Every structure is written in structure tokens, then in C-alpha cells.
Amino acid sequence: MKTLSLTLLLVIICSLGFAQKIVSFKYDSLQTQSRNATNDSLEKQLRNANNDTTKAKIILEIIDNVGRGRGNLLENLNNGHYAPVYDAYSNKLDVYENPENQLLFNRLDKKGNYYDRFWGGYNNELFNYGMLMGVTANTEEQLQYYKKAYQMAKERNRLWQQTSILSNIAFSFQHNNRLDSAQFYIDRIFANPVDKFGVYLFYIFYQAGDIRLEAGNYEQAKSLFSKGIENVLKNNFDLEIGLSINYLGLSKAYQHLNRRDSSYYYGIKSLNLLKQIREVQLVKVDLASAYENMYQHFQQFAQRDSAFKYLQFANKERAFFTKKTISNLAEFQQVLLDRQLKLKDLQREEVEKQGKVRMYSLLIALFVFLVFGAVLLYSYHQKRKANVLLASQKEQIESTLEKLKSTQAQLIQSEKLASLGELTAGIAHEIQNPLNFVNNFSEVSVELVQEIKEERQKPKENQDESLVDEIFNDISQNLKKITLHGKRASSIVKGMLEHARTSRGEKELTDINALADEYLRLAYHGLRAKDSSFNADFKTDFDEKLPKIKVIPQDIGRVLLNLFNNAFYATKGAKKSLVEVKTDILGNEIFITIKDNGIGMSEETKAKIFQPFFTTKPTGQGTGLGLSLAYDIITKGHGGTIEVDSVEGEGTEFIVKLPI
């Protein structure tokens, strides 16, 4: 009887262990995939498969299904759709990195080409995941995956894969200002006969030329860009992408070589192509890059009017791409957050599972003393496995958190850059007025000087000295007005530089009335510059007795700019749009009130507006960071408060209180 009981208990233990192994394999290899009918069927077939060849075939089919229905993953990556790409690549790597899968394909070796398909696919996904980490600013992880992919390609003697990986490693070092390292990896590429690879070689020629260009080797850069163009035309492959980036490189090279006509010719060709394809994410070239190149071309050859025109185009396009990048990174961040939560759920489930195992072990120990030693040994091994798994999951969670922090920092910086771009349009409009006065009075003064010359050429008896004196007085008045408006323009430029300068966190005495008036006008003109149909009235009621207070002017300026932009945005569609700004002093606090007659907010929306990433604007037009940053600047950075009062359909009022 004892022998029978022992046998039954051992069978139960083995069954539990086997069941755990199956569940663990399924979760590790198919984690976070959508459970559609096809995958469910494949998983069932995999569990029932009884030979290695059948299992290998099913696993490869599972890998092919991951990401299906999301479009071309590389195309999504190039268009900045990071979230679905990250989800697909992560799931593929889960399958490839499963130890049991790797053992299975190693046993098969090259039977039925399964071995090469598995390890070749794994090599490609490591490389693709590295590209994803690069465009989402996770540079250290990018280089880690590139080097792992390179080592695998080297072991498998895949020269083209080695070349592609070395090119992207060089590109990563270049964009992190490590030109020596970038040059080192590019030289390793050209130590091999790369001409036989055909398509996609234009990317490598472009990257090599761009590195030479940045290092000041303009003739070498020109030669490499020309080879890139030849490669595209010869293979008739990805014409728009290959020609646009290499034309852009040639334009820059000729610009440095002082070849104006050639620089202009290739710059316009690149611009026309990029107007069609918009951007090439993998080499960080977009339409704004083409406009910036034309601005630099005209600036180099002293054609300032044309340079200013293209600078405006570049700023507009850069603002568009910045907003798009913010939106894509926000989606990517949400995917990272979801993955982190799932990893936490996995950890919790594993802990619960281990608790059950220990409970069963104790029950077995109570009933069967003879198997006590076996149960303890089993529990010990299970605990070791759990600790290894938990340690691995902890590393994954920490890695995910680091990526999350990096993405959040990038989003905050992008929000600041977007505000600076909005200011630029307003400043350009503001500075044009005094410049017009300077130009007009200068032209009038030139005409007056000509009149004096004509009067002096008359015979002395016919000269009218009173007229000459009157003209001299007019010239004197004109020069005073030129000086006045010149100082006004200088003041506007100084204010722009103050805003653009990185805040050092130092507080200084600031006139809040002047600051509010300046940013109100810049916000209005900035919106008018972006949308000529936009129109709104604004009124100010500033308390003249307001004392100067110590604040960080750049930070308070960002807060005011955000509130003004939101107020103007809310009034769109109103019969008569109006934004009112008022300052006053009460006790030991300064009050800044911004009121609009816009659409207002519901109580539910009002409760969430200061939460990070919450926005009521359409996708791509807002990040949900503006009011969150404003709240932190006022409350944490300046010890003040920011309050909101809103009635849906009637308008909104924000009140900023700053201590004196």
C-alpha cells in the first residue's frame, strides 16, 4: 500500500512539473500576441506534434504570423509607426530566444533548410530591433543589438548582413558626435568588395559620404554620393529614396566646395523628391532637411531673401515632423508601459504558481514521510528555476523602465522645441514692423540728401538756405526714428535669444506685465503665421503698480505661451473670439488671469487637464504635456498655484498665482 501511494504521488508531482513546463513554453514564445484563430490552431498543432521537423515547421509559421496584418514592418518603421513595430519585433524575439526552440533547430542542423531559416531570421530581427532602438533614442541598446547581430552574421559568414550592420553602427556613432568611431566602422566596410551587393548599396554610399562630409573631406564625400546615385540608377530600385538622399548629400558637398550652380541644382532635385516621399527615417532625412539645405545654400552665397524664405519653410516642416514624432513616441511609450504591466502580471502569476507548488509539497510531506526528501529536492529545484526566471524578468522590467524614462525625456524636450518653433513665426512678424520703419526712413533720408545736393549745385544767389536747414532738420528727425526702431528690433531679438537660451534655473527680477504682453503678442502672431484664416481679439488689463518679482523668465514664458495658445485654440469657431489677460496684486501674491470665450470644458475634462499625456486635441496636434509641465513649473519651481474655472460652452479662465 505504501509503495502504491508513493508511486501515485510521484506521478502527480511529475504531471504538475510537466504541465508547468508546457505553460511556460507557450507564454515565453507567444507572449503578447493577438489570439486569433490561426495562432490558436498552430499552438494546438505544436503541442500535439511528435517529431522535430513538424515542430520546426509550425514554429516558423508562428514567427511568420507575428506582426501579420500590421503592414510592412520596415515601412512602418521608416514612417515612424514605432508602436506596432516594437510589438511585432518583441514577439518575434520571444520565439527566437526561447532556449527550447534554439535546441530544436540546432538538432535539425540544415535538414530541410529549417536551420538556416531560423538562425537567419533571428539575425535579421536582432538587426531590425536595433534600428527601432536607434530611431527611439535608445542608443546603448541599439549598439548592443547591432553588435550581437554582427557577431551572428560573422559566425554564419553572411558578408552582406555584416556590411549592413557595420553601416548602421557607423551611422549611430556619427549621430552621437563620435566621428572617429563612425569612420572606423565605415573603413571596415570598404575593406571588403561591397560593389557586388547591388540594391540598398546606395544607403551605404550615402552614410559613408555623410560621415566624410561632416569630417570636412568634401571631395571624398562628393565621390561617394555620386556612387550612390549610380547604384540607384543602375539597379532601378527605391529610386525616390536613393536619389533624394544622395542628391541632398551632393548639394551639401558642392556648397562646401563653393560650387553654387551644382549645389543649387542637386538641392532642388532632392527637395522635389522629398516633397513626394516626405521623409527617410532610417537615415534621419526629411523634407525639413531639404529646406534647411536650401536655406544654408542661399545663406552661403549671400542671397538672404531666398534664404529667409526657405528658413520659414524649414521651420514649418520641422514643426510638423516634431509633432508627428511626439505622437509616434507617445504611442511607443504606451506600448512599453503595457509590456511592463504584462511582465508584472507574469511575475505575480509565477509567484502564485510557486506558492501552490510549495503547498502541494507540504501536503505530500505530511501524508507521506517516506517521500519527504524527494519533495524537498523537488521544491529546491523549482525555487532555483523561479529565482532565475524572476531575476530575468526583473532585468527586463528595469530595461523597460529605462526606455520609458528616455522616451519621456525626449517627449519633454520635443515639447520645448515645439514651443520655440511656434515663437519663431510670431517673432518674425513682430520684428518686420520696426525693420519696415528703418527701411522707409532710410529711403526718405536718401531722397532728402539728394535734394540738398541739387540745391547746392544752383548758383549761390539762387540757393535757399532756409530750405536746406529744413531738410537737415528732417534728416535729423529721420535718423532719430531709425535709431528708435532699430533699438526696438534689437529688443525683440534680445527677447527671442532670452527665450531660446537654455534655462539654468536661476531666478531674476522680472516685469510680469512686460513678460505677459510679449508672449501674448508672440502667441497671436505665431498662430496667424501658421493659419492666415485665424483671427481673434485680445485685451489686456495690467496693474501698473505690479512689482518686479524673482522668477525664471524662460520657464514662466513657456507657461504663459502654453496658456495663451490654448486660449486662442479654444476660441476657434466662436462668433467673436476674445482672449483677456489681466494682472493684479492681492496680499503677497501676483495674479495672472487668462480668460477666453471658447468652448469651455466639462467637469470630467477639467479634472484631468494637468495629468501628463492627457489632451483633448486631435491626434498629432497635442502631446498632453503642456499643462503638465506648466503645473510643475508654477507649483514646484516657483512655489505658486495654477487654478482653472470653466463652463462648458461659455469659456475658460486660468489663474496663475506667484508669491512675491
The residues pairing with 538 across neighbouring beta strands, listed in sequence order, are 579
CA–centroid distance for 82 within its chain = 10
Q: Which of 456, 482, 500 is at the close of a domain?
A: 500
Residues 650 and 513 in one domain: yes
Please indicate, yes or no, if residue 441 is contained in any of the structural domains.
Answer: yes
Please indicate, yes or no, if residue 604 is contained in any of the structural domains.
Answer: yes
Q: What is the full DSSP assignment across 270-319?
A: HHHHHHHH-EEGGGTEEHHHHHHHHHHHHHHTT-HHHHHHHHHHHHHHHH
CATH of the domain at 581: 3.30.565.10
How much of the chain is helix, strand and coil, in % rounded to 5? 75, 5, 20
Residues 496 and 513 in one domain: no
Please indicate, yes or no, if residue 485 is contained in any of the structural domains.
Answer: yes
| pLDDT of res. 20 | 33
Q: What is the pTM of this model?
A: 0.42
Residues 649 and 528 in one domain: yes
Residues 491 and 528 in one domain: no
Residues 611 and 541 in one domain: yes
| pLDDT of res. 563 | 92
Q: Within a 10 A sphere around the Cβ of 168, how many other Cβ atoms?
A: 25
| pLDDT of res. 17 | 36
- Spatial distance between the Cα atoms of 210 and 285, rounded to a whole number of angstroms: 11
Please indicate, yes or no, if residue 555 is contained in any of the structural domains.
Answer: yes
Q: Which of 439, 474, 500 is at the close of a domain?
A: 500
- Spatial distance between the Cα atoms of 331 and 392, rounded to a whole number of angstroms: 26
| pLDDT of res. 364 | 83
CA-nearest of 574, 506, 578, 509 to 541 is 578
Please indicate, yes or no, if residue 529 is contained in any of the structural domains.
Answer: yes
Helix crossing, 239-256 with 218-235: angle to 10°? 160
Mean pLDDT, consecutive 10-residue segments, the chain of 660 residues? 37 34 34 50 79 84 70 59 75 85 82 81 84 78 86 83 83 84 84 66 87 91 92 84 93 94 94 89 84 91 88 84 59 56 62 71 73 76 82 83 74 59 59 77 84 82 80 86 80 61 72 91 81 84 92 89 89 85 93 93 86 72 75 90 91 93
As for how many domains the chain has, the answer is 2
Residues 543 and 623 in one domain: yes
| pLDDT of res. 513 | 93
Please indicate, yes or no, if residue 122 is contained in any of the structural domains.
Answer: no
Please indicate, yes or no, if residue 545 is contained in any of the structural domains.
Answer: yes
| pLDDT of res. 369 | 64
Residues 520 and 625 in one domain: yes
Task: Give the domain extent around 474.
Answer: 426-500
Any idea of the CA torsion for 252, 256, 258, 264, to the nearest 10 degrees? Answer: 10
Residues 580 and 645 in one domain: yes
Please indicate, yes or no, if residue 543 is contained in any of the structural domains.
Answer: yes
Three-state DSSP class for residue 156: coil
Q: Give the type of residue at 337.
A: L
